[in-house]
A and B are shown apart, each in its own frame.
Chain A
Amino acid sequence: QKEVEQNSGPLSVPEGAIASLNCTYSDRGSQSFFWYRQYSGKSPELIMSIYSNGDKEDGRFTAQLNKASQYVSLLIRDSQPSDSATYLCAVNKGKLTFGQGTILTVHP
């Protein structure tokens, strides 16, 4: 079992829809969880961090964490073509472990 797994994608949604990105992790001792967005040819950009169970909202982005289920998700509301990118889930337990990434395409 991989330490951090993301839904394989690619994920394609129409403009204005909700994009849902999912991630599971294997280490129950993990303490902090992050979502990074990476445009092609660019470096990862931190878009959300979440440390406790529940939801955290920031603009169009909502991160959800369920430590009992070892599950973290990212919802993007009102998706825009500019949201098209690879989304990396990362889990921190001493060091950052990344999932393989999910490619999101938002089509007009």
Chain B
Amino acid sequence: DTEVTQTPKHLVMGMTNKKSLKCEQHMGHRAMYWYKQKAKKPPELMFVYSYEKLSINESVPSRFSPECPNSSLLNLHLHALQPEDSALYLCASSQVGSEQFFGPGTRLTVL
């Protein structure tokens, strides 16, 4: 299996909602990443997990809360988001220090 999968594909939420994005890979990768991408911009790194431990948090607001339950799964918990948080959220995985493979992304709209 050489895929990174993400669910849901699309998500619409209000500013008071709590929702979660999910990411899964079965390539045996030990590093997983969350990126945010706005239109016509490159992906921006949010979080990095290495060997299931959070290794990088790019000063992301606390309304985004990552979780890595095991080496194959990565979640991003969302709470009290703002309309400007609307974006494509990308998960990626890699061997530590190696090339990253991206999932298809979740298109998030915050109303």
Residues in chain A within 8 A of chain B (CB atoms): 32, 34, 36, 42-46, 49, 88, 92, 95-96, 98-101
Contacts and interface: CB of A to CB of B under 8 A. Distances in A.
Given A43-B90, A44-B90, A92-B97, A99 B102 contact: no
Contact of B43 (A34, A45, A46, A98): A98
Place the interface of chain B in its size category: 10 to 19
B104 A100 contact: no
A22 to B, nearest CB: 16
Given A95-B48, A95-B56, A46 B42 contact: no
A96 B104 contact: no
Nearest to B88: A43
Contact of B102 (A32, A43, A101): A43
Contacts of B33: 96
B51 interface: no
